[in-house]
Amino acid sequence: MGAELVESIEHLRQRLTEARRANATIGLVPTMGALHAGHVRLIEEARHECQAVVVSIFVNPLQFDREDDLRRYPRRLDQDRQLCDRFGVDLVFAPAVTEMYPVPPACTIDVGHLADHLCGKYRPGHFHSVATVVMKLFGIVQPDRAYFGEKDAQQLAIIRRFVADLNVPVRIVGVPTVREPDGLALSSRNAQLGPAERQSAIALFRALKAADRRIASGDTDAEQVKRLAAAEIPPDDPSLRLEYLEIVDPETMQPVTAITGPVRVAGALWVGSTRLIDNVLSLGAT
């Protein structure tokens, strides 16, 4: 039996009630669709640990700061369902916007200082919208475990924090970033890149790895590491614009000036009209 498509909250809750009666552990993989090998890794982790696996597919309009970005975001539910079938998903929850937001929400999640830097600095309101929709999904599905990719490190840190702060009874599982052979992090937005842009996009990963090498060699000056790493972005490529490259505490997402332990090096790069993000965890001098 393949993955069952569910579009209403009421129907999903009915199906999950049956799973709970069978004492099944429920795993949730929240996505916005356009599934790729990175999502497959999340599904595989959930399938390994849980008896019932739910993949949600919902392009959340609240978290987009540009109408053209929301409009361009890839949507391919039929292909996504086929992938879910192939990897043993039990339920695909694909609600309409009106199902998730019958009225504009008056109550949202305030994520505080965790959104002050990195993507939060350049996308005001983005993370409170992400946290709000994730909290709604937790309320709807009531999973035992939920799976998120480490590529979205700031998102993962924020979700972990609000789950702890609000005593939400779900275990958050972070899954390592899946990459192309040349190191480019898999992303649904990669499909928006033209052939030449795809070749240029690897510059972000090269910059992050350059920072990691400097840190591993003993460089503790964060500003110097960032400056040398940013030099990996070709200045003569007009399709590239580095939005930020920062070195932050892995839990608080706050910038550091002196590197004295593990840090996360994170960056956002515009490749043409497509914004890509990536990060690496650097453990310090070896």
- Summarised one tens digit per residue, pLDDT across range 119-153 is 999 999 999 999 999 999 999 999 999 999 999 99
**pLDDT in the model for residue 65:** 85
Banded model confidence at residue 266, pLDDT cuts 50, 70, 90: very high
Give all domains of the chain, ordered by start, each with its CATH number: 4-175 (3.40.50.620), 188-280 (3.30.1300.10)
Mean pLDDT of 38-53: 98
% of the chain beyond a pLDDT of 70: 99
Q: How many residues does the chain have?
A: 286
**pLDDT in the model for residue 2:** 84
Least Cα distance to 192 among 266, 253, 267, 275 occurs for 275
Compute the chain's Rg from CA coordinates: 19
% of the chain beyond a pLDDT of 90: 97
Asked if residue 248 lies in contact with residue 263, where contact means CB atoms within 8 angstroms, the answer is: yes
Asked if residue 103 lies in contact with residue 67, where contact means CB atoms within 8 angstroms, the answer is: no
Residue 66 clears pLDDT 90, i.e. is over it: no
Mean pLDDT of 64-79: 92
Asked if residue 158 lies in contact with residue 130, where contact means CB atoms within 8 angstroms, the answer is: yes
AA letter at 84: C
Mean pLDDT of 212-234: 97
**pLDDT in the model for residue 285:** 74
**pLDDT in the model for residue 284:** 80
Indicate left, alpha or beta for 234 from its phi (over 0: left) and psi (-120 to 50: alpha): beta
Banded model confidence at residue 25, pLDDT cuts 50, 70, 90: very high
Tokens 């590239």 sit on residue: 240
Gap between the Cα atoms of 130 and 121, Å rounded = 15
Least confident of 36-40, 51-55, 277-281, 282-286: 282-286
Gap between the Cα atoms of 104 and 208, Å rounded = 39
Instruction: Please identify which of the residues 39, 117, 126, 128 carries the catalytic annotation.
Output: 39
Banded model confidence at residue 280, pLDDT cuts 50, 70, 90: very high
Banded model confidence at residue 77, pLDDT cuts 50, 70, 90: very high
Active-site residue, 39 included: yes
**pLDDT in the model for residue 1:** 65
Angle between helices 9-21 and 126-141 (to 10 degrees): 50
